[in-house]
């Protein structure tokens, strides 16, 4: 019998129904501390193919395997090196994905055809309960969920259950469970560290920044973390254009913000200006009838990250012609946010020499 999940909105019966769906090769949307995931049995290639089909995701783009705190990483990896054990001890459960050499039985569906696999142990209590229940239902007690973000490929990741339902109405209408664990605490995807090439003399490589910083990783390993080279494995969320809203988005610096506030070079239609700086007295407020609408977000990088995707999704539904996003500082603590909004802006071919 499944124990009661540790979130009031998700019952033991809901967890059991989700496990049955997974065992039958279906999809389940589940919360994590980063974003909501679209999950399938990581050892069922047909089920994983269902993720790719639902998302419109390229088949060579790997997905991360999520395991319970009691799960054995060595079941999924050909070897779990000392460096990986150190990082697991320091940051698991939590928003850290490790890329390791895959075990022989791990299929190419989750690895994107590569010889490496991404592993993560989420800290969200609902995710953990789901993973534990799924593992208990497996004959060998080892179960993992392939779980990319629960959104169409390249679009804004979901941080609330209602985002998932809006993104996949057809799948939900056909019975796909969406476990509602509340708003995601971190709000952006996990840090991804590659440790798959240690035998080649390549140390830890940062493939995607996240809530856990490169400096924190380096402090645990006692060695610097490198930037990816051409031989680095492909990883989730690392394409040039990603995390994009439907509304055209442009990053703007302070000078361009001032131009926008004066109405210089604005496109036709309503424009949203998203800024972490204090609102000038002359700036129109959100909901005003002026062409430019000011939307404030937190000036702290962690709280900014938590609010980012929900803000973009909210603005997407308000009929704006363009979103102007104030570029955060180029400082290490802002690396993860800058990575996400840079890829979101890259999805649009906008004139970067001005606002027009």
Closest-CA residue to 310 (of 149, 182, 155, 158): 158
Q: Are 266 and 260 in contact, with CB atoms under 8 Å apart?
A: yes
Q: Report whether 309 belongs to an annotated binding site.
A: no
Q: Are 251 and 341 in contact, with CB atoms under 8 Å apart?
A: yes
Give the dihedral of Cα atoms 201, 206, 151, 131; nearest 10 deg.
70
Joined tokens for residue 262: 């004066």
Q: Report whether 123 belongs to an annotated binding site.
A: no
Q: At what angle do helices 125-137 and 12-23 cross, to 10 degrees?
A: 50
Joined tokens for residue 100: 């390791």
- CA 135, CA 337: separation in Å to the nearest integer? 34
Joined tokens for residue 168: 């996949």
Q: Report whether 262 belongs to an annotated binding site.
A: no
Q: Report whether 352 belongs to an annotated binding site.
A: no
Q: Report whether 270 belongs to an annotated binding site.
A: no
Tokens 């020499």 correspond to 353
Q: At what angle do helices 335-346 and 301-316 cross, to 10 degrees?
A: 20
In degrees and rounded to multiples of 5, residue 318 shows phi and psi of: -110, 10
Three-state secondary structure of 89-109: HHHCCCCEEEEEEECCCCCHH
Q: Report whether 243 belongs to an annotated binding site.
A: yes
Q: Are 311 and 300 in contact, with CB atoms under 8 Å apart?
A: no
Q: Report whether 303 belongs to an annotated binding site.
A: no
Q: Report whether 59 belongs to an annotated binding site.
A: no
- CA 277, CA 234: separation in Å to the nearest integer? 35
Q: Report the SS3 class of residue 311.
A: helix
Q: Report whether 149 belongs to an annotated binding site.
A: yes
* Residue positions forming the annotated binding site: 34, 57, 66, 120, 149, 157, 190, 208, 243
* Residue positions forming the annotated binding site for L-threonine: 34, 66, 120, 190
* Residue positions forming the annotated binding site for ATP: 57, 149, 157, 208, 243
């Amino acid at each position: 019998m499944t124990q009661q999940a540790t979130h009031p909105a998700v019952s033991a019966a809901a967890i059991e129904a989700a496990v049955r769906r997974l065992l039958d090769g279906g999809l389940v949307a589940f919360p994590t501390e980063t974003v909501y995931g679209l999950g399938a049995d990581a050892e069922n290639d047909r089920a994983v193919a269902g993720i790719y089909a639902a998302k419109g995701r390229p088949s060579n783009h790997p997905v991360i395997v999520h395991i319970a705190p009691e799960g054995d990483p060595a079941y999924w990896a050909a070897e779990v090196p000392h460096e990986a054990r150190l990082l697991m001890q320091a940051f698991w459960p939590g928003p850290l994905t490790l890329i390791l050499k895959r075990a022989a039985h791990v299929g190419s569906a989750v690895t994107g055809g590569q010889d490496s696999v991404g592993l993560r142990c989420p800290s969200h209590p609902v995710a953990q309960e789901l993973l534990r229940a799924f593992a208990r239902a497996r004959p060998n007690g080892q179960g993992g969920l392939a779980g990319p973000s629960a959104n169409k490929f390249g679009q804004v990741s979901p941080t609330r259950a209602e985002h998932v339902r809006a993104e996949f109405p057809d799948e939900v209408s056909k019975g796909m469970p969406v476990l509602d664990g509340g708003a995601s605490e971190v709000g952006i995807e996990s840090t991804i560290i590659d440790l798959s090439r240690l035998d080649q003399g390549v140390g830890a490589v940062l493939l995607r920044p996240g809530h856990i910083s490169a400096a924190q990783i380096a402090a645990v390993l006692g060695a610097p973390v490198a930037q990816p080279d051409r031989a680095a494995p492909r990883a989730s969320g690392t394409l040039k254009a990603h995390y994009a809203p439907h509304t055209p988005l442009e990053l703007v610096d302070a000078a361009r913000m001032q131009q926008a506030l004066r109405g210089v070079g604005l496109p036709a239609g309503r424009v949203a200006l998203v800024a972490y700086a204090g609102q000038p007295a002359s700036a129109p407020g959100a909901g005003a009838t002026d062409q430019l609408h000011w939307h404030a977000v937190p000036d702290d990088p962690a709280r900014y990250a938590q609010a980012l995707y929900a803000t973009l999704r909210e603005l997407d539904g308000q009929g704006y012609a363009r979103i102007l996003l104030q570029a955060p500082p180029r400082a290490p603590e802002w690396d993860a946010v800058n990575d996400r909004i840079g890829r979101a802006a890259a999805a649009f071919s906008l004139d970067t020499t001005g606002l027009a």
